Structure 1
Amino acid sequence: MLVFYTAFGIAIFISLLDRVTAGSSAAKTVAPIRSQVVPVPKKVKDILQKYFTFYQQLPANKQAFFARKVCAFIYAKRFIPRSVDAVTIECKVLIAASAVQLTMGLPNIYLQHFTRILVYPNDYYSGITRRYHKGEVNPRFGIIVLSWQSFIDGYINPTDSLNLGLHEMAHALRLENIIRNDEYNFFDATQLATFDAYAKDICRNMNNGTQPFFRAYACTDEHEFFAVAVENFFERPRQFQETWPDLYAVLSKLLNQDPLTLFAVTPA
């Protein structure tokens, strides 16, 4: 009987959560709670295990945390299809996984400000810039926009340091840090300033003809450098650490994780 009442109580609580999360502003607050109460659906774990290499390499305890955070991200966002009928569950899980890969070491960060994820099947045309885009982040409207094909392409080759999901989530993460909400100012200001100082120095040397480690696009501004650095951090961590050890160490501190040690099993 106790089991029945416990299950019944959880069911009522989940129902209430669903009602509360009908509005996006409430959803972003309740989602982390819901992800702790509601078991991770088997479908979500199956998708991660089949398609997401980063998740596959994690030890079991970190996989459980990762999957819960993926669910919290999904619960808190509206996935809006563009030029397609619907956003599939595979699409939602993998996009959420790219955000969680980046925020694995920031357990209380869910990119709260960005409540809508627009998904196009391919690169899309912008009437504002009058050119095609693979993705973008719009802080004014709390939107992350992604081309699904370009997103997938970013994970097909895991070592080329071209990953649309990580790139756009990195933009959202850096912007989230300066938006006044519950997730405001989570980066250590001194570490972030140190990162930007390294970036300026690297770009100055690149302009002087030094062989670059980062692609030239990184030097557009500090936001693009951060996004490109994140791509390299996850896709070429060993080369990154050997080429720019101080910058790598600072980024590791900002993200509170290190891909070179993350997959090790923690002793009991």
Structure 2
Amino acid sequence: MEYNAVYVTIAILLVGVALIWYVFKNVGNKKVVERDVPDRKELDSILREHVDFFDRLDEKAQQVFVDRVAYFLATTKISAEKGAQVGEVDKVLVAASATIPLFHFDKWSYENLDEVIIYPGTFDEKYDVASTDKNILGMVGDGVMNRKMILSLASLRAGFAHSSSSNTAIHEFVHLIDKADGDTDGVPDYLIPKSLVEPWLHEMHKNITLIRHDQSDIRDYAGTNPAEFLAVVSEYFFQKPTFLQQDHPDLYALLDKIYNQK
């Protein structure tokens, strides 16, 4: 019986090493920080149950998605703090949030992110979860928190409820993509072709004006500034693409060109 347990452990480790090797060959080359990555079968099962975006993919694309989720989990530390109880499903949801915005790009990685920190609920700008002014669901860190992201566990889970049109984790990863060129300004140079910059700026500022004058059904927070506009409408694009296409066809068409490049 003891020998069987040893053989099973060795087999699991070999499968994990093989998965990580395959993923790094096909996805990217960031340093491994976590070797205890769930196997493909477990990842596939979690994604099918919890991630609508994954369900909309064909079988071949789903296998690529699994590879990229495994890559993120192997190269990015995910930490529970302030009493958060983070399970395997939660970690996979974080990785899925990272994978979704950049899925249609052949080679990608979040070079400006080392760690995702999970808090149990909301927090304030000083990362205080006991503050009376705590109202932040997610944040890309600066200063001493540079290369870190903080997410509320409650909002992470809520974002993947099948009826949800918002997703805090995707929102924050879009901010991270926007920030990759040095400016968090709503124009993600990392993604957007030069030919689309002017049309995107026009569509973005037009919609921000409509939002600020209560003439749009897009969430008010998108009118805060261009960076928040990009993050919020990206949530709509990935969570409820059919509704965005019906209600805002020009905006949808631009986001489709930005995110679905081949």
Q: Does residue 29 in structure 1 map to residue 33 in structure 2?
A: no
Q: Does residue 167 in structure 1 map to residue 166 in structure 2?
A: no
- Match among 232, 244, 248 for residue 252 of structure 2: 248
Letter in 1 for 2:116: I
Q: Report 1:72-91 matches (<5 A).
A: 72-84=71-83, 87-91=86-90
SS in 2 for 1:58: coil
Show CA shifts across 1:134-157 (max 9, x none). 111125511111011111112215
Q: Aligned pair in 2 of structure 1 residues 151, 234: CA closer, same or farther (>3 Å)?
A: same
Unaligned runs of at least 5 residues, structure 1: 1-9, 22-26, 259-268
Deviates more, 1:75-84 or 1:47-56: 47-56
**CA–CA separation in structure 1 for the residues paired with 2:38 and 2:138:** 32
Q: Aligned pair in 2 of structure 1 residues 85, 204: CA closer, same or farther (>3 Å)?
A: closer
Moved over 6 A (4+): none
The aligned counterpart of 2:222 is 218
**CA–CA separation in structure 2 for the residues paired with 1:162 and 1:39:** 27
**CA–CA separation in structure 1 for the residues paired with 2:169 and 2:159:** 7
The aligned counterpart of 2:140 is 137
Q: Aligned pair in 2 of structure 1 residues 149, 28: CA closer, same or farther (>3 Å)?
A: farther
Show CA shifts across 1:34-59 (max 9, x none). 9xxx9944322222122222223322
Deviates more, 1:127-136 or 1:56-65: 127-136
Q: Aligned pair in 2 of structure 1 residues 39, 89: CA closer, same or farther (>3 Å)?
A: closer
The aligned counterpart of 2:201 is 196
- Match among 201, 207, 210 for residue 212 of structure 2: 207
**CA–CA separation in structure 1 for the residues paired with 2:197 and 2:190:** 11
Deviation at 1:30, TM superposition (A): 4.5
- Does the CA-based 8 Å contact 1:114-1:139 persist in structure 2? no
Deviates more, 1:79-88 or 1:65-74: 79-88
**CA–CA separation in structure 2 for the residues paired with 1:207 and 1:126:** 24
- Does the CA-based 8 Å contact 2:200-2:254 persist in structure 1? yes
- Does the CA-based 8 Å contact 1:139-1:175 persist in structure 2? no
Deviation at 1:86, TM superposition (A): 6.3
Deviation at 1:190, TM superposition (A): 3.5
- Does the CA-based 8 Å contact 2:84-2:120 persist in structure 1? no
Letter in 1 for 2:149: I
Deviation at 1:230, TM superposition (A): 0.6
Letter in 2 for 1:255: Y
The aligned counterpart of 2:238 is 234
Show CA shifts across 1:87-142 (max 9, x none). 43222111101111221112322222111100012222443796312111125511
Output the TM-score relative to the length of structure 1: 0.74
Letter in 2 for 1:148: L
**CA–CA separation in structure 2 for the residues paired with 1:188 and 1:47:** 34
Deviation at 1:172, TM superposition (A): 1.2
**CA–CA separation in structure 2 for the residues paired with 1:43 and 1:55:** 14
The aligned counterpart of 1:53 is 52
Give the share of equivalent positions with the same residue, in percent.
24
Q: Does residue 94 in structure 1 map to residue 93 in structure 2?
A: yes
**CA–CA separation in structure 1 for the residues paired with 2:160 and 2:261:** 20
- Does the CA-based 8 Å contact 2:113-2:149 persist in structure 1? yes
CA RMSD of aligned residues (A): 3.5
SS in 2 for 1:42: helix
Show CA shifts across 1:182-210 (max 9, x none). x9834323324422321111222333442
Q: Report 1:149-188 matches (<5 A).
A: 149-159=154-164, 161-178=165-182, 185-188=190-193
SS in 1 for 2:253: helix
The aligned counterpart of 2:9 is none
- Does the CA-based 8 Å contact 2:73-2:92 persist in structure 1? yes
- Does the CA-based 8 Å contact 2:80-2:119 persist in structure 1? yes
Letter in 2 for 1:220: T
Output the TM-score relative to the length of structure 2: 0.75
**CA–CA separation in structure 2 for the residues paired with 1:257 and 1:213:** 27
